[in-house]
Amino acid sequence: MSKLGIIGGSGLYNIEGLSNEKWIKVKTPWGEPSDQILEAKFAKQSFCFMPRHGRGHLISPSNINFRANIDALKQRGVTDIISVSAVGSLKEELEPGKFVIIDQFIDRTFARKKTFFDNEIVAHVSMAHPTSKSLMDACESSIKKLKIPFQRGGTYVAMEGPQFSSLAESQLYRSWKADVIGMTNMPEAKLAREAEIRYASISMVTDYDCWHPDHENVDVQQVIKVLLENASKAKDMIKDIIENYTKYVDDKDPATKCLDIAIITDPKKRTKKTIKKLATIAGRVLKK
């Protein structure tokens, strides 16, 4: 049984037209999630929503407890995550207002916990293809239906933040042929893979970072203006995806059983304490 989880940032905290709305507090062995989880229905489909920065945007990117967020969503039965976030553009043709369906990441973050397997039990999951093709198909279908300008496929550079890039950094990332830059999709995507949750990322372009000669300074007010314009489109997109995504679910996706070949630690060395901590994330394989 599949269940969709949405992780959203600024501008997405209130989605109209939902029913059976209930905010649920979830405890995790990794600490407190960003917020309670909204469980609701749209078009008879149940889903979960996690406010990435907390309602009111209280949590800086570096301080998001990504492990707790993913664990909490999996506790609530989430099998598929669609992440929606604001980004800066690194390419002329990706103008503010355009959506990008991400298929690759470059992780430049350095101050975050990036794995569930950091103590006693070691696992190495593949991140060669970090996003789910089937979820990308679902996103593309909804975006096309709503006539939102978009690009399918793109590389997301995840920077630490909370400061925006220097000009030298922005030019470096452009030389790598990356498409967009943001602060929140890593280690989110890595942890979703470790949790065997299918993952897709939709980036909403708000600015040209600082490389563009006509847009040299990234201004928060300018970003918020475009963000709010994007938000109404994103909400419509999310509702359409919730209604239709089950048509695209692929149980053979590489994420679904990736832990079968990822855990390297000798079973005799695994303590009950660590197995219990990983129960939500890896209970399927650790119970064997």
Active-site residue (options: 209, 236, 240, 253): 209
Asked if 199 and 136 count as a contact pair (C-beta separation under 8 A), the reply is no
Would you state the pLDDT for residue 230? Answer: 81
Would you state the pLDDT for residue 236? Answer: 94
pLDDT of 184-220, one tens digit each?
999 999 999 999 999 999 999 988 877 777 665 656 6
DSSP secondary structure letters along 19-69: EEEEEE----TT---SSPEEEEEETTEEEEEEETTTTTT-S-GGG--HHHH
Q: What are phi and psi of 5, to 5 degrees?
A: -120, 135
Would you state the pLDDT for residue 10? Answer: 61
Q: Quote the percentage of the chain above a pLDDT of 90.
A: 84
**How many domains is the chain built from?**
1
Q: Quote the percentage of the chain above a pLDDT of 70.
A: 97
Would you state the pLDDT for residue 144? Answer: 98
Would you state the pLDDT for residue 211? Answer: 75
Decide if 35 is catalytic: no
Mean pLDDT (whole number) for 118-138: 97
DSSP secondary structure letters along 193-232: HHTT-EEEEEEEEEE-TTTSTT--S--HHHHHHHHHHHHH
pTM over 0.85: yes
- Neighbouring C-beta atoms of residue 177, cutoff 10 Å: 9
Q: Which residues pair with 19 in a beta bridge?
A: 41
For residues 231 and 34, the model is more confident at 34
Would you state the pLDDT for residue 219? Answer: 64
Q: Which residues pair with 154 in a beta bridge?
A: none
Asked if 176 and 211 count as a contact pair (C-beta separation under 8 A), the reply is no
Asked if 147 and 237 count as a contact pair (C-beta separation under 8 A), the reply is no
Asked if 136 and 84 count as a contact pair (C-beta separation under 8 A), the reply is no
Q: Does the structure show a pLDDT above 90 at 226? A: no
Kindly state the helix (H) or strand (E) to which residue 82 belongs, with its residue range.
strand 80-89
The domain of 10 spans: 4-286
The overall average pLDDT reported for the chain is 93
Integer Rg of the chain from CA? 18
Give the least confident one: 123-132, 152-161, 216-225, 227-236. Answer: 216-225
Structure confidence at residue 287 as a pLDDT band (50, 70, 90): confident
Active-site residue (options: 71, 80, 107, 207): 207
- In this structure, the dihedral spanned by the alpha carbons of residues 145, 148, 152 and 156, taken in order and rounded to 10 degrees, is -140
pLDDT of 18-74, one tens digit each?
999 999 999 999 999 999 999 999 999 999 999 999 998 899 999 999 999 999 999
Mean pLDDT (whole number) for 144-151: 97
Residue with token string 């089950």:
246
Asked if 89 and 209 count as a contact pair (C-beta separation under 8 A), the reply is yes
Domain harbouring 202, CATH code: 3.40.50.1580
Mean pLDDT (whole number) for 99-121: 97
Q: Of 219, 180, 202, nearest to 89 (Cα)? A: 180
Conformational region of residue 73, where left means phi above 0, alpha means psi within -120 to 50, and beta covers everything else? alpha
Give the whole-angstrom CA distance, residue 284 versus residue 196: 10
Structure confidence at residue 168 as a pLDDT band (50, 70, 90): very high
pLDDT of 78-100, one tens digit each?
999 999 999 999 999 999 999 99
Decide if 207 is catalytic: yes
Would you state the pLDDT for residue 11? Answer: 66
pLDDT of 170-185, one tens digit each?
999 999 999 999 999 9
